[in-house]
Structure 1
């Protein structure tokens, strides 16, 4: 864990670099307050180089809320497991965090690699964001919930059944077999944003419509395929 003044300042700079902004993502002062309140910032290092960091808070309900995480490819899993160890030592049984539903690689990491499920869709969660990653896009977020007491083996299936919605690229966006729902997102939304903000907005609105409707019916997201398809099932069918 990182708790010294210089280390906390280094993490604050790292977060700003990852989100490509000159503004604070989480300031040093905020990180110190989180630590003082019982939270923790954990770093990943390659020699002396900081290659990942995550900051979390212990919540009144006994869970942990992971406020932010960033890591160089290949270090994210170890970093998340270190955060899990810290949470379990405090007695936490679950951990929550949010992520952009359009970023398929993050969805696959959260739902498949870790075995979390997505339980909530929040429209424009943060309001306008001005960093280099999110600028110009609405900040919709999925809430991931990770059971720390056991493990879940995600079941990946091929999208099947009726096409219910068409994506902005003209290909199927959503399918259902009457029980499960599949929803497709761009393979690389960061590239889509750079090439066409209008197209990125269309994807945002299309995916939002599918998720908001599905979650209202009691669905949760349990998996993400390599091809960019979320799988959603009814919450009572999920065993963790």
Structure 2
């Protein structure tokens, strides 16, 4: 990419980040203060419903990440209170950054704060000649999946089994920590369009009974072949399901693990998620 093209794309990202923050009613900026790091640690612990003594990411580690020249981003409301945050490190010897953690206070997730955080991170990365961001997320959490793959324009083609080992806290309910690896191309036309709230729509797939390849733990179709792609359904609210019926949640984990492992091995890529939790798994190299 030519320097002029890079400068124009960075300007586009910075403008999109400012628009997203204004729309969400927050001020988004890099965080460098110890008080801010302590506030972020406390926020994340509340988000993940961690017991006393546990920490999603310690404030001293956030301070080290910032001091090393990596990214710690905070979103503040009109009172100056931090209501969302994210942290990312730069991958050595590459043009990639790795998002360690991101979260928004409960009760305000529909305001666009998370989107504003990610747009700030994109602008931060482009200003440093980075071209890609990666992170992991639970494939069973359909809301996060849709945000990552449809709202932001990332894709995924790698399934990591029990990535973190046993997870603590009420939100994870001791479930296995399987993760999809999201890859977000910071310079792509799709990502730029998504940053301006123009994502490619992914609608509920229409299919007949003959298109169904597999049924889920609830007895309904979970994997279908339709419209030139495979489609895989996940529960509407896995967090609630874990609390209500851990055994059924574990059955979903096993089912989705088997499907994604096989589908990715066949060269498919997860490109978008519908509002009702259907992943679009396109053949590799297609949009």
Q: TM-score of the superposition, structure 2-length normalised?
A: 0.80
Counterpart in the other structure of 1:198 = 247
- Secondary structure in structure 1 of the residue aligned to 2:72: strand
- Secondary structure in structure 2 of the residue aligned to 1:92: coil
1:9 aligns with 2:38: yes
Counterpart-to-counterpart distance in 2, 1:129 and 1:123: 13
1:154 paired residue among 189, 197, 200 = 200
1:179 Cα deviation after fit: 4.4
- Secondary structure in structure 1 of the residue aligned to 2:285: helix
1:25 paired residue among 56, 60, 65 = 56
1:213 aligns with 2:279: no
Unaligned runs of 5+ in 2: 1-29, 191-198
Counterpart in the other structure of 1:104 = 142
Counterpart-to-counterpart distance in 2, 1:55 and 1:11: 10
Counterpart-to-counterpart distance in 2, 1:194 and 1:38: 40
1:178 Cα deviation after fit: 8.9
Question: Highest Rg: 1 or 2?
Answer: 2
1:80 aligns with 2:118: yes
1:159 Cα deviation after fit: 4.6
Contact residue 154 and residue 222 of structure 1 kept, 8 A: no
Contact residue 128 and residue 135 of structure 1 kept, 8 A: no
Unaligned runs of 5+ in 1: none
CA RMSD of aligned residues (A): 1.5
Please list the CA deviations of residues 85-130 of structure 1 after superposition, one character each: whole Å capped at 9, or x if unmatched: 1111111111111111001111111111111111211010000011
Match runs of 1:85-96 below 5 Å: 85-96=123-134
Distance 1:54 1:192, change over 3 A: same
Counterpart in the other structure of 2:95 = 62
**Deviating 4+ runs (over 4 angstroms):** none
2:285 paired residue among 229, 236, 239 = 236
- Secondary structure in structure 1 of the residue aligned to 2:281: strand
1:134 paired residue among 172, 181, 188 = 172
1:139 Cα deviation after fit: 0.4
Contact residue 111 and residue 154 of structure 1 kept, 8 A: no
Q: Which has a greater percent of helix? A: 2
1:24 Cα deviation after fit: 1.1
